[in-house]
Chains A and B, each alone.
Chain A
């Protein structure tokens, strides 16, 4: 893991990513739900191959940040630059095509479809045949479908899920559903992967394996990962930079070491100690 170094705009990113354009550059982001400032003055920089963590107590606004980055919500204030491009006003599907992929805290698979088809839907925009060749079953249709299936099987291989390809996604065990969501997100060929509590409901052994997998994914695809997680062993184990959110505001940023020893963070998590 690289040392974190400051960027010109005063954020920190891993040393190997410095000098390259940032993958995500968020400034002063905020959203209100009625009177509630769900997220306020949120600023975050992420390097091109960084694994970053977003943590905080329940209801802090972490998932809301993901919904803002993917334009499911339109921000009330602030700017999001993805790979240098302002994402304001784009539809969620356009943001996905720009290279941001995500998983959902409350799993959202295509339940009635097979595991393989779930991945193939993720690859939709990478399968280049015309509808005419699909209707006439021209050679290009067969070739591209075959290539897509092979690539989908390859992606399922990341989590050793090839044997489940024909299973109905809704019938998978919980952990496998979470892993399939990650595979489907990867299938969109992203530059930034957002994982919302990927280890939720997993046992320590599964979590350890997931950690290894996330690192492998980053190494293999050379992408950035931003993950929300309550499991501190995972967050401290793989994240290079961590941001802590409380009541919609960032209360601390830094390396796992910095965060572990930060009194404000400890207070936010444990509540103020009465003496």
Chain B
């Protein structure tokens, strides 16, 4: 019995989880120390919230691509839905709710919910089918969201919210405010995202994903990815679990979108294009499919890097590709991993030997 407990309770996976949380907390601590001592560059300061947002987006996409094993090429669409829902929510709440953190919290939840519901609705017809239909549909979805929001006008006045499409005829009353102005995007919304909120969101999402993976549902989802025919044969309802995982993924992407949006003074829907979806995919693939820590590191490093490399001018792209390759090797390379575990084992043996020699000497 004791043996069972030991075997299953504080195993390797738990240590890995603690390590991953540790990386996030360490990052937070380092930044806060730099900020406290006045050593934080303005460049990095501006990147802090986007880094967190991209990390959460990468985690979200990893749930769909890495853990569920379905390809999504329009993840930016969910981020976008979350972003603009968050913008509208925050603008509406700002005058009535005095606590900024509460406004941010509600906006993030609203952004997540809207994206989650849309993810669910897209998933219903698509995830029933076998094959890579999700990739095609999400690709189209990302583009559709972009052009819809580019043509959307939303304003608020004393009578409430006003919507209009394609033409800017919101007919706002005196003192009314335009929140989203079609191709001009949104502006004048509260800029309330903070680095702390970003870190908390990462920690929450990590906690959520680890708990999911440690549950019977997580096992079912992984089993489906490994072998869907066998999973179905042992009683796993494929569509249901695919839909649940995809909805969760869209929900998380939406939350990241709100965090991301409320860090800027203005935002246009064209920001959430295919390039962004592909960039997120690059984070996930480089970090390793199903590897949450890898996603965090890849998203973090690759978000700051282009800015950091600006000083290298012409060599910027070269350096960027070298870093890409380095990340790939570090997070995905089997041999490197084996070498690392072997080295750790050897080191342990070596320490044990020394200790033995010491004990022997003392006795």
Contact = CB atoms under 8 A, between A and B. Distances in A.
Select the residue from B212, B223, B232, B235 with max chain A CB neighbours within 10 A: B235
B211 interface: yes
Contacts of A150: 4
A91 B237 contact: yes
Contacts of B238: 93
A187 B222 CA distance: 17
Interface in A116-161: 117-118, 120-122, 124-125, 127, 129, 131, 134-135, 137, 141, 146, 148-150, 153
A121 B215 contact: no
8 contacts: A72-B229, A92-B232, A113-B219, A124-B216, A124-B219, A124-B234, A127-B216, A135-B208
Interface string B1-43: 0001001100000000000000000000000000000000000
A184 interface: yes
A135 B211 contact: yes
Contacts of A260: none
A121 B236 contact: yes
Nearest to B214: A134
A149 B203 CA distance: 28
Contact of A104 (B8, B217, B220, B230): B230
A149 B8 contact: yes
Contacts of B220: 121, 124
A49 interface: no
B226 A112 contact: yes
By size class, the interface of chain B is 20 to 34
A247 interface: no
Contacts of A255: none
Interface stretch (A26-34, A95-103, A199-207): A95-103
Given A93-B238, A96-B234, A117-B223, 6 more contacts: A101-B234, A109-B230, A110-B227, A121-B223, A124-B236, A184-B230
Nearest to A108: B230
Interface string B190-228: 000000000000000000100110111101101100110
A166 interface: yes
A3 interface: no
B211 A134 contact: yes
A109 B237 CA distance: 17
